[in-house]
């Protein structure tokens, strides 16, 4: 079973003036914990904030 985590980021890192935002550090940190980065979802106006999406395989609880 897959578990998903969503991390909210403001002021999209895709703009050059925001290149120092920690989005890469967040992705690297989740990867160290076994998560895979699978994409993003725009939030609000779709230009200034988004959710980074991560997934990890977990055992099902019965």
pLDDT(13) > 60: no
pTM comes to: 0.76
Q: Residue 8 has what pLDDT?
A: 87
Contacts of 19-24 spanning 24+ positions with Cβ under 8 A: 23/52
- pLDDT-derived band at 25 (thresholds 50, 70, 90) equals confident
* Distance of alpha carbon 51 from alpha carbon 9, whole angstroms: 6
Q: Residue 44 has what pLDDT?
A: 76
Per-residue pLDDT tens for 32-61?
A: 999 999 999 988 776 678 889 999 999 987
Contact 27, 52 (CB under 8 A): yes
């Amino acid at each position: 079973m897959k578990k998903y985590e969503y991390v909210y980021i403001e002021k999209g890192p895709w703009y050059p003036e925001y290149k120092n935002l920690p989005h890469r550090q967040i992705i690297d940190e989740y990867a160290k914990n076994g998560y895979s980065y699978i994409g993003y979802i725009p939030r609000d106006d779709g230009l200034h904030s988004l959710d980074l999406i991560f997934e990890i395989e977990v055992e099902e609880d019965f």
